[in-house]
Amino acid sequence: MSFRGRLVVGGLIAALVPVLLLGLLVRGVGVRRLADANAQRMAERADRLTAAWASAGEMLGERLETLGTMLEQDNEIRVALRTAQGPALRDAVARFAKSSGLSVACVLDRTGTILAASHFPGDAGRRAPALAALADRPGAPVVTTLSQPASDVTVLARAGRLAVAGIEVILIVAEELPALGLIPAGEGLALLAVAEGGAPGAERVVGDGVAAGLGTGLRPADTDAAGSRSPDPGHRGRHRIGRVLWQGWGDDGETVPVELEMAWRDPLLADLVRSYDRALLLSLAVAAALALLLGRAMSRRLSSPVERLAATARRVHMGRLDETFGGGGGRELDRLGFFLNGMLKRIRDGIVQVKDAEKRATLGELARQVNHDVRNGLVPIRNVMSHLGEAHRSGPAELAGVFEARSGTVTASMDYLGELADRYRAVAVHGARERTDLREVARAVVEASQAAPPGVRVVGEPGREPAWVEMDAVSLRRVVDNLVGNGVEAVRGDGGGVVRVTVEAEREGERPGYVLTVADDGPGIPDGVRERVFEPFFTTRGEGTGLGLAIARRLVRDVGGSIVLESEEGRGTRVSVRLNRAEGDLR
């Protein structure tokens, strides 16, 4: 992954992790506090509902006593009971139900036949064993179902037996559960009835308007075969309300004890959690977008100076030691550029010192070689002159004979010294920053090399447009001649080949220039030899002087250029010379 990519990813992580942690913390604290507050509120409502059930049982007990007292004290009612005729009993029961605020008041005889019923006047004379069975639980409130003209209703009832005028009757008072405030009202609330034992299907929702004493839940639910509805599985909590008897719980209509519990859901909490989640996702998306934008901007701002430093370092690596590391990337990168410039200056100074040392070493070696060669040429001349001096003392005849005999030696020595002078004249290196057409010089050298040995071809592709460089024509011709000559010698010794000369414009860095390339397909240069090819007097050919590449490099460097040799054994050699473009060449 690139430096910019790592910066962007790091920015995303740094932006998203705090937002996510903060969002989860706020969500957890908010949910916990709301859940605690709702649980406390539900506990208070459950306490009120418990008190309502207890109060309802006591109230029904009082109403039952009042009905009994009324029957015992009313003579007309006693007469009606004895004769079992007249509407007095029905009217009295109806008036009692209306005055007491109850929807149900009922009187049955001992056999279970309804004598009077406020909730269903037409029931008089009908046997109702289920209602008569309520008297078997005296003093205990019982939840049961009563039939009314419109529908069946779930009621809380109290029943008892009473002897009036010597006749045993069963008294029943009851009221619908919602009218007594025994069903919790509100979204997400439900009253559950749980049969003892907790068997599957023994838990049901208490409501209004469902047969067999089972009501609807507060939301749609699947009904079972008995018509009851399953409790809401999403209830978050429950509170115990109390214990009552339930008539008609099972299919056999038996009366069983059940536990009443208030259960609740928390729709506000669910909405809050959804709101928190949406807000968290939105915050993460916004944070990610901002992190991407800022990360890209910061990565570009941070990486651009680094890329500039890397580009400058690459040019320095290619030999452009005149480059300078720029700043503008912050204090740290400015300090790095300062240290790199200092290091580069020391390298340039070191190269100058090495050049001077190399020059002195080359001059010393050259002086020793000149001294040796001149001495070799002067020794025969000195010997001849000594011999001639001795002959002169012996007389003219002897002098003439010695001169005749030794004149050839003197001539040969003089020729030898003349040849040495011509050879050492080639060592003189001089360069000037003059405006010269590199392509014209390359084209001239290629044309002059057409008389190459058999099997050797010199191919030139210098181009047509002038390539003006900063180097005098004589020095430039010597450089190109040396490189092409080396290529010709390399392929000739390998049985023939091609030497290719090209010139191309180069725009790397701030200073444009041209690159002269001389490539051959000869045998290449071995690794151990390749490192020494620019050393003066080093050669692998017996007839060479070892100065060609050393002179070429010196001439190129003197005008601010660079020369690079690349070679692979068995695949040929490639020499590239880069020269600065001359002033006034705007192409």
Greatest mean pLDDT among 266-270, 395-399, 425-429, 446-450 = 446-450
- Same domain for 517 and 479? yes
Greatest mean pLDDT among 4-8, 319-323, 363-367 = 319-323
Angle at 317 (CA atoms; ends 313, 322), nearest 5 degrees? 75
Q: Mark 182-191 as b/e (b = at least 16 C-beta within 10 Å).
A: bbbeeebbbb
* Of 32-41, 118-127, 321-330, minimum mean pLDDT range: 321-330
Check pLDDT > 90 for residue 254.
no
Q: How confident is the model at residue 574 (pLDDT cuts 50, 70, 90)?
A: very high
Q: Among all chains, which residue has been given the structure tokens 């992954």?
A: 1
Q: Provide the pLDDT for residue 364.
A: 67
Asked whether residue 587 is domain-assigned, the answer is no
- Same domain for 32 and 108? yes
Which CATH number fits the domain that encloses residue 293? 3.30.450.20
- Same domain for 301 and 372? no
Span 408-421, average pLDDT: 72
Check pLDDT > 90 for residue 516.
yes
Q: Among all chains, which residue has been given the structure tokens 């009612």?
A: 77
Average pLDDT, the chain: 78
Check pLDDT > 70 for residue 326.
yes
Span 133-159, average pLDDT: 86
Asked whether residue 522 is domain-assigned, the answer is yes
Span 447-466, average pLDDT: 81
pLDDT single digits (tens) 182-194: 888 877 788 888 8
Compute and round to an integer the Cα radius of gyration of the chain.
Answer: 61
- Same domain for 394 and 461? no
d(CA 131, CA 470): 126
* Of 79-83, 308-312, 326-330, 497-501, minimum mean pLDDT range: 326-330
- Same domain for 249 and 364? no
Better pLDDT: 315 or 158: 158
Which CATH number fits the domain that encloses residue 559? 3.30.565.10
User: With helix as H, strand as E and coil as C, how does 267-334 read?
Assistant: HHHHHHHHHHHHHHHHHHHHHHHHHHHHHHHHHHHHHHHHHHHHHHHHHHHCCCCCCCCCCCCCHHHH
Name the CA dihedral angle for 196, 202, 207, 212, rounded to a multiple of 10 degrees. -100
Better pLDDT: 355 or 503: 503
- Same domain for 501 and 376? no
Check pLDDT > 60 for residue 220.
no
- Same domain for 152 and 225? yes
- Same domain for 169 and 283? yes
Better pLDDT: 412 or 117: 117
- Same domain for 252 and 362? no
- Same domain for 60 and 175? yes
Which of 425, 451, 484 delimits the end of a domain? 425
**What range does the domain containing 450 cover?**
435-580
Q: Provide the pLDDT for residue 84.
A: 63
Q: How confident is the model at residue 167 (pLDDT cuts 50, 70, 90)?
A: confident
Q: Provide the pLDDT for residue 509.
A: 63
Q: What single DSSP character describes residue 193?
A: E
* Of 119-123, 160-164, 324-328, minimum mean pLDDT range: 324-328
Asked whether residue 297 is domain-assigned, the answer is yes
Greatest mean pLDDT among 127-136, 302-311, 346-355, 427-436 = 127-136
CA of residue 69 relative to chain centroid, distance: 85
Check pLDDT > 50 for residue 263.
yes
Token representation of residue 465: 């447009």
pLDDT single digits (tens) 271-291: 777 887 888 888 888 888 887
* Of 100-104, 116-120, 511-515, minimum mean pLDDT range: 116-120
Q: How confident is the model at residue 418 (pLDDT cuts 50, 70, 90)?
A: confident
C-alpha distances in angstroms, 241 versus 252, 261, 262, 335, 340? 26, 5, 7, 79, 84
Which of 395, 425, 455 delimits the end of a domain? 425
Q: Provide the pLDDT for residue 216.
A: 31
Asked whether residue 307 is domain-assigned, the answer is yes
Asked whether residue 318 is domain-assigned, the answer is no
How many of the other CB atoms lie within 10 Å of CB of 125? 9
Q: In terms of Cα–Cα distance, which of 298, 300, 329, 302 is closest to 11?
A: 298
Q: Among all chains, which residue has been given the structure tokens 């003006």?
A: 468
C-alpha distances in angstroms, 276 versus 28, 82, 103, 289, 405? 10, 74, 48, 20, 122
Check pLDDT > 80 for residue 585.
no
- Same domain for 374 and 258? no
- Same domain for 371 and 274? no
Span 251-274, average pLDDT: 80
Span 313-323, average pLDDT: 74
Asked whether residue 135 is domain-assigned, the answer is yes
User: What kind and span of H or E run contains 205?
Assistant: strand 203-206
Which of helix, strand or coil describes residue 138?
coil
CA of residue 153 relative to chain centroid, distance: 64
Better pLDDT: 50 or 532: 50
Asked whether residue 321 is domain-assigned, the answer is no
Q: In the chain, pLDDT over 90 holds for what percent of residues?
A: 12
- How many domains does the chain divide into? 3
Check pLDDT > 60 for residue 368.
yes
Which of 376, 398, 425 delimits the end of a domain? 425
d(CA 288, CA 299): 15
| 245 Cβ contact partners less than 8 Å away, ≥ 6 residues apart | 137, 140, 141, 142, 143, 255, 256, 257, 258
Q: Provide the pLDDT for residue 542.
A: 54
Predicted TM-score (pTM) of this structure: 0.46
Q: Which amino acid is at 275?
A: S
Asked whether residue 400 is domain-assigned, the answer is yes
